[in-house]
Structure 1
């Protein structure tokens, strides 16, 4: 089971819901009962050092 963040379109409440990755359930806000939308947050991943790029893996 994966955990996803949802935000209520009505009251702005942000909460977490667990469901399988392949499912897209209709999620209701626990505070007001309105439909909530999944929140997509970009994660700051920074690849530093050697070995992360195609040019680093070639034989010299």
Structure 2
């Protein structure tokens, strides 16, 4: 069962109703009995754990070695003029 918010078109009361996602019941206002419309709300999402913020660090190697100017990578360039072959 899912919970949905409805608003009365007559008195403006907002209330919550629980029904199945595939059901489309005719909901009337509990205050005045007027016609209602379903209100779409943003879902509340909570991200927990690492990896969701810019301040988080990746696992494994540190970020300083990835951004350093000197590279310890080996290259296997086939051309004789390549600066990596020095």
Please report how far the alpha carbon of residue 35 of structure 1 lies from its aligned counterpart in structure 2 after TM superposition.
1.1
- In the alignment of these two chains, the number of paired residues is 50
Select the structure of larger CA radius of gyration: 2
CA RMSD of aligned residues (A): 2.2
Spell out, residue by residue over 1:3-60, the C-alpha distance to the aligned partner (whole angstroms, 9 max, x if none). 1000001100000001000011110000000111100013475x745xxxxxxxxxxx
| In structure 1, C-alpha distance between the alignment counterparts of 2:30 and 2:44, rounded to whole Å | 30
Give the TM-score, by structure 1 length. Answer: 0.69
Higher percent of residues as helix: 2
Alignment of 1:1-60 (within 5 A): 1-43=1-43, 48-49=52-53
**Unaligned regions of 5+ residues in structure 2, if any?**
54-86
Q: Which runs of 4+ in 1 moved over 4 A?
A: none
RCO (CA 8 Å, sep 6+): is it higher in 1 or 2?
1
Unpaired segments ≥5 residues, structure 1? 50-60
- Name the counterpart of 1:56: none
Structure in which a larger fraction of residues adopt strand: 1
